[in-house]
Amino acid sequence: MRRPFALLLCLVALQTGCSDELTWRAVDHLIATDHPNTPSLSTDSLAERLAAPSSARPVLLDARSPEEYAVSHLPGARRVDPSADTYPALDTLAAETPIVVYCSVGSRSAGVVQALQRQGFSRVSNLEGSIFRWANEGRPVVRDGEQVSAVHPYDATWGRLLTDSLRADQASGNVDL
């Protein structure tokens, strides 16, 4: 019964123009309700890991649609199907390989994190706030290897979490989050 309340809280925050901080807290609550005990990683921590020459670079997985990924993605990210239960393409990776999964705000990627854990991966994390938070903080996103300033907004409702200047005008119809 907690999920309907958490979803309602998110939708109210998005529709009424609550502060970004309050809206993101509602989103984080929804994700925690839907995917309890899912390890997460902050955007700051990921940026530090990617910049540190001594640490092993994590594998970045983008759990969005092909259309979303085509607009932009994190540098070096591979797209995975968020509705898959297993990821055979990752079978060549060691179970201890650090993996960070993201989507638009973190819900689809949290499901992928759980699926990867069931597949045996032990160092997999969900990126908090995903690509929306990452891009809103001015961090790089790319298309065809070139840095761009556009992110697919997912849909009109969830896209409100994305800074206006970053919102690509290629949003497709409403899809399940």
Whole-number Cα distances in Å, 29 to 9, 114, 129, 158: 9, 17, 11, 15
Beta bridge partners of 126: 40, 101
pLDDT value of residue 158? 86
Q: For residues 11 and 99, what is the distance between their CA atoms, to the nearest angstrom? A: 30
pLDDT value of residue 170? 47
pLDDT value of residue 12? 63
Residue for token pair 């998110």: 10
pLDDT value of residue 6? 56
Q: Residue 141: phi, psi to the nearest 5? A: -130, 150
Whole-number Cα distances in Å, 97 to 91, 123, 147: 11, 6, 27
pLDDT value of residue 33? 87
pLDDT in tens, the chain (177 residues): 456 555 666 666 666 666 777 788 888 888 988 899 999 999 999 999 999 887 678 999 999 999 999 999 999 999 999 999 889 889 999 999 999 999 999 999 999 999 999 999 999 999 999 999 999 999 999 999 999 999 999 988 888 899 999 999 744 433 333
